[in-house]
Amino acid sequence: MYRKKYWRRAGVLAVVLAGVVLALPNLFPMDPSLQIGREDGAPWSPAAVERITAALGDVEAAPSSVELRDGAVHALFDDSNDRVRAAEALTGELRDAVVALDLEPRLPGWMRAIGLRPVGLGLDLRGGVHFQYVADLDAVRDRVVEAASAELRAALRDARVPAAVSARQDTVVVEVGNTADADAVRAAVAGLPETFGFNPAVDVRGAAGGGQRVEVRIPGEIIAERQNLAMERNLSTLRKRVDALGVSEPIVQRQGRTRILVQVPGMQDPAQLDRILGSTATLEWRLEDTLNDPSEALRTGRAPAGSILRFEADGTPRLLKRQVIAAGEHLTDATFGYSEGQPAVFIRLGGDGARRMLDATRLNLGKPLAVLMIEETREAAGDGYRTRRDETVVFVGRIDGVFSSSFRLSGGFTPRQAQNLALVLRSGALAAPIYKDRWGTVGATLGEDNIRTGAWALMTGLAAVAAFMAHRYRVFGMIANLALIANLIITIGLLSLLPVALTLPGIAGVVLTVGMAVDANVLIIERIREELGRGNSPRASIAQGYDRAWTSIADANVTTLIAALVLLVFGTGPIRGFAVTLGLGVLTSMFTAVTGTRTLVDLLYGGRNVQRLPVGRGF
């Protein structure tokens, strides 16, 4: 006796309706928009939102809508020129804001209220800006070797071993007076396994004047580990900078050993992104040299041994110790606040930086401590490029007590200066200097052309497959076509729900799944035809066709899913986008082609006696 499976019908209907609702935002056009966020990443207050709204209202072409969402103000415009005029007005009005030009869908309020959004589009479909940066990992190596030389110098001082310690490439060079002191250097190196590794290469050779030269080579795996950590810190820093823009679906990813790719789909102002990313910096904490006169060093053009001459932003010269106490890689947090009624920046250090800061402050109470900000940019010069390095002393304060991982910078700050310094320390501290290798933009018009081309390819493929199925398998072919349309809608709905960006290769994956989605129905229909050819009843043929085709369908789709998973794990960029859409398409096609079509077939033929099934010619 035939039993109606209402649970299956309800489940299929619920999934299809959910897919339709999730895919609905993709029907609304993208409008020019401004996203106004705070430089420090904090949300706007209601009073600030009113101030921004009033400033936008004073513009000749006011926005069509303004709302506060996720801590940032979003303003939509009917025309791109109106948006540009509003951005210029806000840039002059709001000193503490980051104004980004973007594109945003004009969704009804109820869609935004339940969190619906269209499919995130990649750079090639939406247009936007991309930069490629190269990290100077040699600077990380030099910093590791310099830190190791400082550790060894301190250990030899504690052991009362007279020695001259210097750094060269990946080697710490120690010059001592005799063999006994050389043995003491070996023992000191063995006592610093975290710095030099457990089996460093130590070479002792004779030096001029009868002394001994000890060369300690830093193991390559230690330098490589520090360089990798520096790259990860750079990625995190650049992500914070891009996130401050408030734009959707930004991409910040590592490429190879030294390169970082930054893509901001939808952003139409490359100068704005360049200004934000180009302001990143490497920070170093150094003691100030109080025994020598910086004015004399400036006059002679030579700094004393063990010191370097640097300048504050207003041109004031400062002599700093050559030894670096802590650098940007050790910074874990920096926040603005007040100490004894004065604006201050509260710092937290981690790792070796906290220990070295403890040693430095214990030995140098009352002495000044400086923060040096280092910026490196790559500029065109003739037929090639040159790297410009700017080093600025951004803070000098007295060490009032012994501290390590947590301390404050205070003295002479205005609240605005303290806030800006906290922002630079928190989000601008790079563990390795970077420079811009190349950059480019993809116009919104080109992105629209790519979308139009991809949509045309998808619709053409869908129409061709639908026509073939309808001609070949009649009514059952039309059922398969309905499942194919449902599969496409559910796939788009899932892409809208997931935090992924659709690219041209992703559209190729969707087009491919359109062709693959009917494979299961072809197998099922052919099985049904075989059962009918053996003389089975239509109802029995339907049941046998679905049951016997399931194993083949599952095996074929599982192997495709494995291939998509491999591409997702080991691929990058466009390859991952293709893998995501391919995997989603396979999963949704298994549902629609088997469960969905069987529900429709049961509705049409399960509850009544039929003599023939419209499965194509000959039946």
For residue 148, the domain's CATH number is 3.30.70
Where in the sequence is the domain holding 206, given as residue range(s)?
Answer: 138-223
pLDDT tens-digit profile of 41-100? 567 777 777 777 777 776 666 787 788 777 778 888 877 777 777 777 776 666 566 677
Phi and psi at residue 523, in whole multiples of 5°? Answer: -60, -45
pTM (2 d.p.): 0.61
Contact 385, 416 (CB under 8 A): no
CA 317/CA 300 separation, integer angstroms: 13
Same domain membership, residue 405 and residue 467: no
- Please compute, for residue 313, the number of CA atoms within 13 A of its CA located in the half-sphere on the CB side: 7
Query: Looking at residue 50, which CATH number applies to its domain?
Result: 3.30.70.260
What is the predicted pLDDT for the residue at 288?
93
Question: How many Cβ atoms sit within 10 Å of the Cβ of residue 52?
Answer: 22
Q: Is the pLDDT of residue 392 over 70?
A: yes
CA 336/CA 340 separation, integer angstroms: 13
pLDDT band at 489 (very low <50, low <70, confident <90, very high): very high
Same domain membership, residue 577 and residue 456: yes
Is 565 within a domain? yes
Contact 615, 527 (CB under 8 A): no
CA 119/CA 78 separation, integer angstroms: 21
Helix (H, G, I), strand (E, B) or coil at 130: strand
Same domain membership, residue 58 and residue 18: no
Query: Looking at residue 365, which CATH number applies to its domain?
Result: 3.30.1360.200
Phi and psi at residue 303, in whole multiples of 5°? Answer: -90, 150
pLDDT tens-digit profile of 297-343? 898 888 888 899 999 878 899 999 988 888 877 777 777 778 777 78
Q: Is the pLDDT of residue 619 over 60?
A: no
Q: Which of 399, 430, 461 is the last residue of a domain?
A: 430
Contact 529, 616 (CB under 8 A): yes
Same domain membership, residue 595 and residue 460: yes
* Residue 149 neighbours by CB under 8 Å, 6+ apart: 165, 166, 167, 172
Closest by alpha carbon to 411, among 338, 331, 325? Answer: 338
What is the predicted pLDDT for the residue at 562?
92
Question: How many Cβ atoms sit within 10 Å of the Cβ of residue 17?
Answer: 11
Same domain membership, residue 396 and residue 488: no
pLDDT band at 500 (very low <50, low <70, confident <90, very high): confident
Scanning the structure block, which residue is given the tokens 């693959």? 516
Is 251 within a domain? no
Same domain membership, residue 355 and residue 291: yes
CA 170/CA 188 separation, integer angstroms: 18
Q: Is the pLDDT of residue 165 over 50?
A: yes
Helix axes of 6-23 and 444-497: crossing angle, nearest 10 degrees:
150
Is 374 within a domain? yes
pLDDT band at 208 (very low <50, low <70, confident <90, very high): low
Q: Is the pLDDT of residue 436 over 70?
A: yes
- Across 81-106, b (16+ Cβ under 10 Å) vs e yields ebbbebbebbeebbeebbbbbbbbbe
* Residue 221 neighbours by CB under 8 Å, 6+ apart: 197
Mean pLDDT, the chain, as a whole number? 80
pLDDT tens-digit profile of 5-50? 778 888 889 999 999 999 999 888 877 887 777 765 567 777 777 7
Q: Is the pLDDT of residue 377 over 80?
A: no
Amino acid at 152: L
Q: Where are the alpha helices (DSSP H) in 330-379?
A: 352-363
Is 252 within a domain? no
What is the predicted pLDDT for the residue at 136?
83
Q: Quick one: what percent of the chain has pLDDT higher than 70? A: 84
Same domain membership, residue 36 and residue 19: no
Residue scoring higher pLDDT (249 or 455)? 455
Query: Looking at residue 508, which CATH number applies to its domain?
Result: 1.20.1640.10
Tokens of 243: 């996130």
Same domain membership, residue 457 and residue 401: no
Q: Which of 189, 223, 257 is the last residue of a domain?
A: 223
* Residue 504 neighbours by CB under 8 Å, 6+ apart: 122, 124, 125, 450, 454, 574
Is 268 within a domain? no
What is the predicted pLDDT for the residue at 359?
87
What is the predicted pLDDT for the residue at 2?
46
Strands 406-410, 384-398: parallel, antiparallel or unpaired by DSSP? unpaired
Q: Is the pLDDT of residue 379 over 60?
A: no
Is 111 within a domain? no
Same domain membership, residue 455 and residue 358: no
Distances (CA, A) of 294 to 299, 319, 369: 9, 5, 15
Same domain membership, residue 601 and residue 456: yes
Is 263 within a domain? no
Say how many domains are in the chain: 4
Q: Which residues pair with 68 in a beta bridge?
A: 73
Is 588 within a domain? yes
pLDDT tens-digit profile of 508-567? 888 888 777 888 888 898 888 888 888 888 888 888 888 888 888 888 889 889 998 998
Same domain membership, residue 301 and residue 164: no
Render 12-81 in DSSP notation, one character per residue. HHHHHHHHHHHHGGGGSPEEEEEEEEETTSPPPPHHHHHHHHHHHHTSSS--SEEEEETTEEEEE-SSHH
Closest by alpha carbon to 152, among 189, 98, 206? Answer: 189
Q: Which of 223, 241, 259 is the last residue of a domain?
A: 223
pLDDT band at 1 (very low <50, low <70, confident <90, very high): very low
Same domain membership, residue 455 and residue 317: no
Q: Is the pLDDT of residue 360 over 90?
A: no
Q: Quick one: what percent of the chain has pLDDT higher than 90? A: 7
Q: Picking from 266-270, 306-310, 328-332, 351-355, which range would have the lowest pLDDT averaged per residue? A: 266-270
Q: Picking from 83-92, 244-253, 261-270, 301-310, which range would have the lowest pLDDT averaged per residue? A: 244-253
What is the predicted pLDDT for the residue at 424?
62
